[in-house]
Amino acid sequence: MNTPKILVAGPCAAESRAQLFATAKEISDLQIDSRFLEYAFFRCGIWKARTNPDDFQGVGNAAFPWLQEIKKQFGFKICVEVASAGHVALCLKNNIEAVWIGARTTVNPFLVQEIADAVQGSSLTVFVKNPISPDINLWLGAIHRFQNAGIKNVIAVHRGFSIENENVYRNAPCWEIPVALKMKLPNFLLLCDIAHIAGNVSLQQDVAQTALNYGFNGLMVEVHHAPESALSDGKQQLLPAQFEQLLKSLTFSTSGNLADSALFIQRNLIKSIDIQMSKLLSKRMEVVDTIAAIKTKHALPPLQPDQWKKVVSVYEENALQDENYQQFLQEFLLLLHRSSLRRQE
């Protein structure tokens, strides 16, 4: 089965006419895989819900004439974020083809229903991002509200979840949640917003390839002609040339299955865990160095048995009880303790 490859790409935010045109022109000049071109959108946020009220809030209605010019000149379909019925009314008035529902909005059923009522009877394509919290029922509920409103093109977007103990990505991928969504809605289209999961450019290829391997139908990507001067989220926006290279680096599954096999799924979970472990081990050794400096300053001995017993108890509390793991844990803790003492000495 040959599933659609959907591409939604453009800057995090509309900042100026010059910025939008420069980015759109560079994207239009790229050699993009033809599998994406049948279902492609130029995206940008014109209203920005920022945590800090002093941060850039978007240019608002001023962006609509710029987007109409871009659509006419480059042939892009336009996609913007909406968070209220008023936003929807303005998008319909200005002939916008698609909207996306952000994670902060999806978490609120009242807002989702207000927007669903506003889009009812329209031909808009509606992209529904997962809620900030890892709650599949909130996500499914938002999707069903738009389906109940008669929207024919409703597409889910996985953008990761806000989880306190995530140490690698901006938002934890929690791949098991979009996988579960795909299993509940096997014929439903699902995209991956690689920018909001990765949080930086360096991790985006890995996130994108993992998503495609899981059977996702496409990507949402943030692209900016000059991300170093972007007014929001510059670190996670690709240069157009980087965007082109990312797409060329991806391989596509021809099976049409959710994943090639159960083994593949588990290997990707291990890969994610290994990335987090490597980061945490490096961070732990940095803390050990700080502890060593404090001990040296106050003439304290490197070896403190009572403190090490507390460390061991933490690991034992969460340990598997089989003999093999217990042996591994003893060897690991011995090596960890020795390495920590050597750094302190």
* 140, 168 Cβ separation under 8 angstroms: no
Q: What is the pTM of this model?
A: 0.77
Residue 79: CB partners within 8 Å, gap ≥ 6?
A: 8, 10, 41, 42, 43, 96, 97, 98, 99, 100, 125, 127
pLDDT of residue 149: 97
Find the DSSP H helices in the chain: 17-28, 34-37, 63-74, 85-93, 103-106, 109-119, 136-148, 176-184, 194-198, 204-213, 240-249, 262-297, 305-317, 323-344
* pLDDT value, residue 160: 97
Query: Which stretches of the chain drop beneath a pLDDT of 70?
Result: 1-4, 35, 37-38, 253-265, 268-269
| Max Cα–Cα distance, the chain, nearest Å | 75
How far apart (Å, rounded) are the C-alpha atoms in residues 17 and 12?
14
Distance CA 194, CA 47 (A): 21
Cβ count within 10 A of residue 80: 26
> Rg for the chain (alpha carbons), in Å?
24
Backbone angles phi and psi of 9, in degrees to 5: -140, 145
Crossing angle, helix 240-249 and helix 204-213, to 10 degrees? 40
Whose CA is closest to 60, among 73, 50, 45, 70? 45
What's the pLDDT score for residue 257?
53
Interacting residues of 248 by C-beta distance below 8 A, sequence separation 6+? 31, 33
Name, in order, each residue with C-beta under 8 angstroms of 129's C-beta and a sequence gap of 6 or more.
100, 101, 102, 103, 106, 157, 158, 159, 193
CA angle 166, 171, 176 (to 5 degrees): 85
What is the rounded CA–CA span in Å between residue 161 and residue 193? 12
Instruction: Please say whether the beta carbons of 220 and 193 come within 8 A.
Output: yes
What DSSP state is assigned to residue 61?
G
Could you write out the DSSP letters of every residue in 189-206?
Answer: -EEEEHHHHHSSGGGHHH
Other C-beta atoms closer than 10 Å to the C-beta of 167 total 13
Decide: helix, strand or coil at residue 99: strand
Interstrand relation of 98-101 and 77-82 (parallel, antiparallel or unpaired): parallel
What domains can you pick out in the chain, each with its CATH number?
6-260 (3.20.20.70), 277-344 (1.20.59)
- Answer whether 280's CB lies under 8 Å from 167's CB: yes
